[in-house]
Amino acid sequence: MKSTRIALFSLIFFFSIFASLIYGEVYIPPSALLHPHGVYSIILERIRIPTVLAAATIGASLGVCGAVMQMLLRNPLMDPYVSGTASGGAFGAVLSYFLLAFNLPFAFLVYVSPLIAFAFALLSTFITIAIGKRTGVYGLVVGGVVVAFIFSSAVTILTTLISNRYPFVPSVTFWLQGQIVVVGWRRDLGLFALTAILVLLGLRHARRIDLVAISDEMSYARGINPNTYRYVWVILVSLVSGYIVSLVGIVGFVGIIVPHIVRRTLGGSTTKLVPYSALLGSPILLLANILSSGILGTVIPVTAITSLAAAPIIVYVMVRGIADKRY
Amino acid sequence: MEDVGLEFTRGLNVILGPNGSGKTTLLRCIIGMLKPQAGNIRIEEGETSYAPAEYFGAEMSVLDVLLSGGSGRDYASYLEPFGLQAFLDRNFSSLSTGEKRMVLIAKALAEGDVVLMDEPTSGLDLKNQVKLRVILAGIKHKVIVASTHDITFAQGADRVTLLKSGRILAHGEAERVLTEELLTQLYEVRVRRVSVDGHTLFLT
């Protein structure tokens, strides 16, 4: 029953928020959540709650980005990571640190970094689409892999070069594999705003996205230019992905896992994919982040965990030939 | 394509032509997907809709496919003649080719005042082809433009346009245009027109 599944997703959502508040590098007992005191209060207010909110909004955003990309690009294996978008964003973010060499104040970087990340996230996505669009479903995936190789390598090289001079620049592992630790509330506001815009626009345009997915000709007949439409959404997805990457590095595969589960349990129309990918994306990233943030004794990059979770789904999609649903 | 000057009015207009003659190209020009190098295309009034020959078999319910694009029109009256009411909850991608086509044709008929169809009978079995011809014959208030290479389908049209290699060979009422000479010229095979029990048949 669909309503049972929605209730289940909601339950998982609330449970994961609760679990993320308790578990982490420092265990906070549930009683301390209700009456925070001493060091627990500091951890909760400055680190734990902002991190939980960040992971929840990032998970929701990535889920929705994946869903929209999969519909518009007619490809069940797409998400901002596979498409090379995130890798381009990481490159842009690292490149912005070079501005430090021109004696720009570090505080400036907070505003500039997401913008440059967005520019390169957009560029890398366009390159992937240009490479892959004519060669069927796997064309985009291969294009994305190639683009990700290029930009990830560039990130590695740049980071290694800069870190000698500026040791506070985040490491290669941070950029390429992600780490969600947020201190303070300012970043959360930006994340929340972008996520809200993404979800609201996605809901408003859901029927149109469905139409563009089914047929370009039908879209033209209804007054929608499907190519322009795709580019506008790619720009929005790149903006959101670029911002996320500049904050927490590359978080991969959430955009593949989540829409797939929603499609199998609640149906594949964008009207369902957008809201429920947001609802399910949060807990999946929150739970992955619990594993990532020290509960296993040490900090593990979050993409390592999400990619292990995504692997069986990707294999399933490929083996079942679901991906071969082209014209 | 060259020198294409045509007018399509209410009722069933069929564009008949062999493969590669430019039928789909013409339809795509009408919806604005392709831009003509010279001349213009005008749609006098009403909404346009399109039933394509190729489309992505999306993983959503038939109802969601019908509602895609959000036109707000009423589909119910077009579902019944096609027998599609029972299909609403089914996954579109799991339907047979013919069933999918009928869903998209029903959607186009419900949504458009100017309805374009690309090879609507292809993929349909005999029973559904007959069903479609009956349904289209009954719709007189819409402008329906259908491309086909199926002569039997063209016989039911109010007006037929013969398209060969991007040029108009003939245009007018089905009776006057579907002649042995013109069809032989169109298809480059000897076509014979025969009368059996009051029905006109075309044989090669």
A85-108 tens-digit pLDDT: 999 999 999 998 877 767 777 777
Tokens of A77: 């294996």
Q: Which residue, B72, B148, B135, is CA-closest to B109? A: B135
Instruction: Decide if A215 and B52 are in contact by the 8 Å CB cutoff.
Output: yes
Residue B143, classed as helix, strand or coil, is strand
A213 touches chain B (CB under 8 A): yes
Taking each helix axis from N to C end, the angle separating A270-292 and A2-22, rounded to the nearest 10 degrees, works out to 30
- Between the alpha carbon of residue A165 and those of residues A36, A156, A168, the distances in Å are 41, 15, 9
Q: Is the pLDDT of residue B169 over 50?
A: yes
Q: Is the pLDDT assigned to residue A325 strictly greater than 70?
A: no
Are A220 and B93 inside 8 Å of each other by CB?
no
For residue range A213-232, list pLDDT tens digits in order: 999 999 999 999 999 999 99
Q: How far apart are the C-alpha atoms of A16 and A23, rounded to whole Å? A: 10
- In this complex, which of A217, A218, A263 lies closest to B59 when CB atoms are compared? A263
Q: Does B119 touch chain A (CB under 8 A)?
A: no
pLDDT at A37: 80
For residue A127, the distance in angstroms to the closest alpha carbon of chain B comes to 24
Report DSSP state, residue A171.
P
pLDDT, tens digit, 9 for 90 and up, residues B105-116: 999 999 999 999
DSSP of A205-269, one letter per residue? THHHHHHHHH-HHHHHHTT--HHHHHHHHHHHHHHHHHHHHHHH----SHHHHHHHHHHHHH-SS
Q: Which residues sit opposite B66 in a β-bridge?
A: none
Mean pLDDT computed over A148-172: 89
pLDDT above 70 for B123? yes
The token pair at A305 is 């965990």
Residue B163 forms beta bridges with which residues? B168
pLDDT band at A326 (very low <50, low <70, confident <90, very high): very low
Q: Is the pLDDT of residue A52 over 70?
A: yes
Query: Per residue in B153-162, pLDDT tens?
Result: 999 999 999 9
The predicted pLDDT at position B16 comes to 94
Which phi-psi region, left, alpha or beta, contains residue B66 (left: φ > 0; alpha: ψ -120 to 50)? alpha
Which of A74, A217, A269 is facing B28, going by the closest CB pair? A217
What's chain B's length in residues? 204
According to DSSP H, which parts of chain B are helical?
Answer: 23-31, 62-67, 76-82, 97-111, 126-137, 151-155, 174-177, 180-187
Phi–psi pair at B57, nearest 5 degrees:
-75, 75
Q: Can you say whether the dihedral through the CA atoms of B187, B190, B196, B200 is positive or negative?
A: positive
Instruction: Return the pLDDT at A327.
Output: 36
Give the C-alpha separation, B108 to A72, whole Å. Answer: 21
Q: B15 forms bridges with which residues in the sheet?
A: B147, B161
- pLDDT over threshold 80, residue A240: yes
Q: Which residue has the higher pLDDT, A164 or A192?
A: A192
Residue B110 vs residues A125, A286, B67, B139, B144: alpha-carbon distances, Å: 37, 45, 11, 11, 12
Sheet of B167-172, strand order: B48-51, B114-118, B143-148, B11-16, B159-164, B167-172
Give the range among A265-269, A286-290, B35-39 with minimum mean pLDDT. B35-39
**CA distance linking residue A187 with residue A242, whole number of Å:** 13
ipTM of predicted complex? 0.93
Superfamily of structural domain A2-319: ABC transporter involved in vitamin B12 uptake, BtuC (1.10.3470.10)
The pLDDT of residue A31 is 82
Least confident of A35-44, A169-178, A214-223: A35-44
Closest of A204, A215, A143, A149 to residue A176, by C-alpha: A149
Is A143's pLDDT higher than 80? yes
Domain ranges in chain A are 2-319
pLDDT at A317 over 80: no
Greater model confidence, A323 or B187: B187
- B104 to chain A: closest CA residue: A218
Average pLDDT, rounded, for chain A: 88
Cβ(A55)–Cβ(A114) below 8 Å: no
Fill in the amino acid letter for A106. F
Per-residue DSSP letter, B15 = E
Q: Which residues of B touch A208 (CB under 8 A)?
A: 68-70
Cβ separation of A218 and B58 shorter than 8 Å?
Answer: no
A224 Cβ under 8 Å from any chain B Cβ: yes
Tell me how far CA of residue A139 lies from CA of A128, A136, A291, in angstroms: 9, 5, 33
**Residue matched to tokens 């609507």:** B120
- How far CA A187 is from CA of A89, B85, B109, in Å, comes to 17, 50, 50
Q: Are A199 and A274 in contact (CB under 8 A)?
A: yes
Distance separating alpha carbons of residues B40 and B18, to the nearest angstrom: 25
pLDDT tops 60 at residue B150: yes
Both tokens of residue A202? 């996605």
Contact list, B65 vs chain A (CB under 8 Å): 210, 214
- Spatial distance between the Cα atoms of A261 and A63, rounded to a whole number of angstroms: 11
The arithmetic mean of pLDDT across residues A315-319, rounded, is 80
* Percentage of residues of chain A with pLDDT beyond 70: 97
Query: Is B32's CB within 8 Å of A220's CB?
Result: yes
Lowest mean pLDDT among A204-208, A249-253, B41-45: B41-45
Q: Which residue has tokens 């001349």?
A: B39
pLDDT in tens, A101-129: 677 777 777 788 899 999 999 999 999 98
**Where do the domains of chain B lie, and which CATH numbers do they carry?**
11-169 (3.40.50.300)
CA-nearest of B57, B59, B46, B74 to B142 is B46
Residue A136 region by backbone torsions, left for phi larger than 0, else alpha for psi between -120 and 50, else beta: left
Which pLDDT does position A322 carry in this prediction?
57
Angstrom distances, CA of residue A180 to CA of A103, A186, A318: 28, 15, 30
The rounded mean pLDDT for chain B is 91
Ranges A34-38, A235-239, A264-268: which has the least confidence: A34-38
Number of alpha carbons in the 13 Å side-chain half-sphere of residue B18: 12
